[in-house]
Structure 1
Amino acid sequence: MEESESLLPHSGEDEQLSEIGAKMDGTTLGKIRAYWLGSVVCMGGFLFGYDSGIVGGVLTMASFKSDYRYGSTDQTYTNSLAVGLQQLGGFLACFLAWPLTDKLGRKKSLMISSFVFCIGALIQTINTHSLPAFYVARLIAGLGLGAATVAVPMFNSEMMPKEMRGQVGSFFQWFYTFGIFASYWVDYGVARGIASTNPAQWQIPIGLQLVPAAFLGLGMFTIPESTRWLTKKGKHEEAWRSLQWIRAGSSDATVTEMEEIRAGVVAEEMATEGFRLRELLERENFKRVFAAFAVFTAQQATGATAFAYFGPQYFSLIVGSGEQSLLLTAIFGAVKVVACGIFVLFFSERLSRREVLIGGAAFMAVCHITTAVVVKHFPAPSEGGHTVPPSGIATIALIYLFVIAYNFSWGPLPWPYVSEIFPARIREPGVAVGVASQWLFNFVFSLTTPYMISSMGWGTFLLWGIFDAIIAVVAFAFLKETRGLSLEAIAHQRFKASSSHGFG
């Protein structure tokens, strides 16, 4: 009897086990809340992808052309304006968004962004029979979408624990790929299932934009405001409640983190009391701003965005025109989703940010240059056939390998990376400049790609390959490592060359 009693844990051991169990429960709950917050705010990424992918198919529908009274001679002009004005709105919103996020916070800014986008989407859905009204609606939707793309990376970076920041920050790109994928199949479904004389054929895909937009706006009611923004505004009690919510408790580590955040904010405010735009031109700040601009410019220069908009045209260079190019584009969308998902779920916090960006660019360069060589020597037939030649199969495989590499590197990583490299004082304008470059070159490359394809043919692949090679070299020379570091630690790093870490 005495021996059996001696095997039971003492009361002190019971308390210790209870504390360990509570800590484990809190950690699990904290991860769930972090994933929920990331999913809600990154619905802006889904909206971005869906909106980008849906319009191309809609503009080719006979029902839309009939309702808006334009023919094939006006197709290119209409496509350019419908896509370009949305991107112009997004570009302009980047410079309007950061003062908004600073004054009202990340949460309210995203709610306003959602509301503005919904206004634009509603006008697009109404059958106005007026292309100018449709163009204005695209511009309005672009303003809402652009503002969201500025607020999302800030919100994510400021609320995530450092060990989850890369993974959840990469949700934006993953959700973007889901949006693109959904748009391809929605367009395909309504085109086949609804008569071309019925306006619902184009109104359904356009109107469905309201669903993710409403989820983004209403989802804000389920999450707290950014802890760092609240601390910056002197709302310390609310900031502490926000941090407790996202970390699911008030452990010693949470208390330490709160003290670190407060110390970081106080140090930044003491350094310079009133922010002025000219601060962005100061040596260290300018290097960070330029890095953000360059990273997002490089993201667009990989060629992936051009593929997202003009997939069928690219695949027609390989297999010829016809239904095969549409099927290959749909498969391309599925590959994007799977590749980005695998990276986000299993590799985003296990791999070096810097090394992945360098390696991804180098691999994409090889894929594009090899594709250019094959297409040059084995051109596609003028009309697509039922049988794809071996050269076509090889180049299709190379393009799918390219999109896998992109979604393991330059697709998801620029979003968390750019939001990490700025101290809190200049994070809003810094991220805004970076995202503005994303919108600017999104516009530039989407506008020029159709002309590149028609005039350069296989040379288009070669051009993207050269761009990717340059990106790899520049990333090796200048990018720094941020994985596993707190935002405060990154903010105190100086941007100077280092053989092992680039900047660091």
Structure 2
Amino acid sequence: MARLGGTRLGAFRAYFFGFFVCTAGFLFGYDTGIVGGILTFKAYKDDFRYTDQTTVNAVMVSLQNAGAFIAALCIFPVSERFGRKKTIQVAMAVFCAGVILQVVPSHSLVCFYIGRVISGLGLGAGTAVVPTYNAEMAPKEIRGRLGSGMQWLFALGVMLSYWIDYAVLQTLPVSSKQWQIPVGLQLVPAATLAFGLFTQPESVRWLAKKERYDEAWQSLTWMRASDGPEVKGEFNEIRTGLLEELRATDGLKKRELLEPANRYRLSLAFFIFLGQQCTGMTALAYFGPQFFKLLVGNDPSRSLLITGLFGAEKFITVGTYILFFSERWGRRPTLWISALLMSVCFVIVTVVNNTTPKPQQEVTSAGIATVALIFLTNSIYQFSWGPLPWPYTTEIFPSRIREVGSSVAVATQWLFNFLFSLVTPYMQKSWGSYTFLFYAALDVIMAIIVWFFVKETKGKSLEEMETIFHSKAAFDVEVARHEGEEIPDNVSALEVHNKGSKGSDSSDKGI
């Protein structure tokens, strides 16, 4: 760890920052988990007086996802102008306003729905900007681990929400508090993230892109807790990369997006997050109690208990992957192998469930077997498609279009989150356990696409991505880093910039 910025303090700051900003992922997971539970509560049905359970299930989840999709797609100009930190803080304030509208005892589904849309706007904006902010601050050696923190905190949020739902159902009498407490608790992490960011620096690469080099240098040296040769080399690599992007693209964003390398990257970002939703595991997270009801019988308490254990397993497995395997396994083989394994598990679940007697109140051996297979599938997902899309879709883009690329990626996640959450209740009602077979087919398709089109990026710096994707802005990263490391210790950030500019100018003359 000491090699990250040269000090243990730098390593600590990198890990703390990376996982702290991923509190946005916790909010995403917590909201994902509580919805399926409170929709099964008698208190919620009594307060809002509705009869069409399937429609409310679909609309309740999909409305927030729709708001999140709009925000994720449109937030990048705001992030580009005002910075990553301020954008996330405003997003958390919007999210809190939406939660308050949901908690007030209005007894109106319309008011609750409006709150869902508003909180979705804040959540979508936060989850779109956080991966970019995280990637721009992380040392390349642990960027995958820190980026995957979105999924780890997501899993923690899901796990806690399941157990909170179970706790209020078991300990509180039937009243509005049963659903208001789980929903209202979202205010705590959102406020913590908003206020906690006052203690953290702005993105190094965003500051450098705005030509605020002294501030960028201060941000980098604080985060690495060092101003030695290795940090100077990293700063020079960042600066040279930005200059090369400017030179190659000539300042035209439309031209940048139409460049073959960037079209390819945008397509990959779209596919990776589409693939994450096609696994079926997000739908299972939203509607866990309803899915487990298909497998173990009509007992709400039992379904919630199994869902709670499912959430705990999710948190433990994704944590194990992030801490021990995220920087050892390649991105590409992890994705295609896991997709095939999940497909096999879903096929077996479907076959067993449809060739054995359907469970009612009792627990059957077939029900236990299918639940065990779902838990196994969940573990595979947490070692692959759960955490990997977050770091992958931010590390493949150059700084000049990273906001656009991240917005496209996360907006895709929210768009198909919206679509699958909207149709899954109807699929469950019409197809029953054959829903798993549908997701098995999608998993096979994803594995094929990964095999042919996804590029390996493990262990590469953000600037090295230009060479991997054959961009016009590609440059010799090792030369730039070496030039930065040769700068004396008493040289300021502006002088580092000026020295690099001269080197870049001389290179341009030779082209």
| TM-score where L is the length of structure 2 | 0.88
Q: Distance in 2 between matches of 1:166 and 1:428?
A: 18
Contact 2:266 2:408 in 1 (8 A): yes
Counting only pairs closer than 5 Å after superposition, residues 14-413 of structure 1 correspond to structure 2 as 26-68=6-48, 70-71=49-50, 73-197=51-175, 199-277=176-254, 279-322=256-299, 323-381=301-359, 383-385=360-362, 387-389=363-365, 391-413=366-388
The answer to which of 364-373 and 234-243 deviates more is: 364-373
Is contact 2:33–2:285 with CA below 8 Å preserved after alignment?
yes
Counterpart AA for 1:388: T
In 1, Cα distance between equivalents of 2:449 and 2:143? 24
Query: Which residue number corresponds to residue 454 of structure 2?
Result: 479
Deviations 1:127-158 (A, max 9, x none): 12322221111111000000011111101111
Given residue 31 of structure 1, which amino acid in structure 2 is its aligned partner? A
Deviation at 1:24, TM superposition (A): 9.1
Residue identity matched to 2:30: Y
More displaced stretch, 127-136 vs 467-476: 127-136
Q: Which has the higher contact order (CA 8 A, sep 6+)?
A: 2
Query: Cα distance, 1:462 vs. partner?
Result: 1.4
Give the TM-score normalised by the residue count of structure 1: 0.90
Deviations 1:227-284 (A, max 9, x none): 0000000100000011101111111110000000000111112223434346423322
Please list every run of 5 or more consecutive structure 1 residues that lacks an aligned counterpart in the other structure: 1-20, 497-504
- Which piece of structure 1 moves more, 122-131 or 32-41? 122-131
> Which whole-Å CA distance do the structure 1 matches of 2:135 and 2:304 have between them?
37
Counterpart for residue 505 of structure 2:
none
Shift in CA distance, 183/209, structure 1 to aligned 2, threshold 3 Å: same
After TM superposition, give the deviation of residue 51 of structure 1 in Å.
1.2
TM-aligned CA deviation for residue 88 of structure 1: 0.5
- Quick check: 1:419 aligned with 2:394? yes
| One-letter amino acid of the structure 2 residue matched with residue 341 of structure 1 | G
CA distance in 1, matches of 2:354, 2:153: 35
Does 270-279 or 74-83 show the bigger shift? 270-279
8 A contact 1:49–1:175 mirrored in 2: yes
User: Which amino acid is 1:451 matched to?
Assistant: Y
Asked if the contact 1:292–1:418 (Cα under 8 Å) also holds between the matched residues in 2, the reply is yes
Alignment CA distance shift 1:23-1:330 (3 Å): closer
8 Å CA contact 1:63, 1:196 repeated in 2: yes
Secondary structure of 1:483's aligned partner: coil
More displaced, 432-441 or 404-413? 432-441
Q: 1:468 aligns with which of 443, 463, 469?
A: 443
Q: Which amino acid aligns with 1:229?
A: W
The alignment partner of 2:94 has SS state of: helix
Query: Does the CA-based 8 Å contact 1:324-1:384 persist in structure 2?
Result: no
Worse overlay, 279-288 or 474-483: 279-288
What is the CA–CA distance in structure 2 between the aligned matches of 1:286 and 1:490, rounded to whole Å? 14
Q: Count the aligned residue pairs.
A: 470
Whole-Å Cα distance in 2 between the matches of residues 270 and 193 of structure 1? 64
Q: Percent identity?
A: 50
Give, in angstroms, the shift of residue 53 of structure 1. Answer: 1.4
Shift of 1:22: 9.4
Q: 1:444 aligns with which of 411, 416, 419?
A: 419
Change in CA separation of 1:365 and 1:24 when aligned onto 2, cut-off 3 Å: closer
Measured after TM superposition, the shift of residue 457 of structure 1 is: 2.4
Secondary structure at the aligned position of 1:176 is classed as: helix
1:433-466 CA-to-partner distances (Å, cap 9, x unmatched) read 1111111111111111122222222321211111
Q: 2:63 & 2:112 partners in 1: Cα distance? A: 10
Separation (CA, whole Å) in 1 of partners of 2:37 and 2:4:
48
Provide the aligned C-alpha RMSD in A.
Answer: 1.9
Moved more, 76-85 or 305-314: 76-85
Closer/same/farther in 2, CA of residues 214 and 77 from structure 1, 3 Å limit: same
Cα contact 1:316–1:380 (8 A) shared by 2: no
Counterparts of 1:264 and 1:384 in 2: how far apart (Å)?
Answer: 62
Q: Does the Cα contact within 8 Å between 2:37 and 2:304 map onto a contact in 1?
A: no
Aligned equivalents of 1:102, 1:22: Cα separation in 2: 32
Q: Which of 404, 412, 423 pairs up with 1:429?
A: 404
Q: Distance in 1 between matches of 2:2 and 2:461?
A: 25
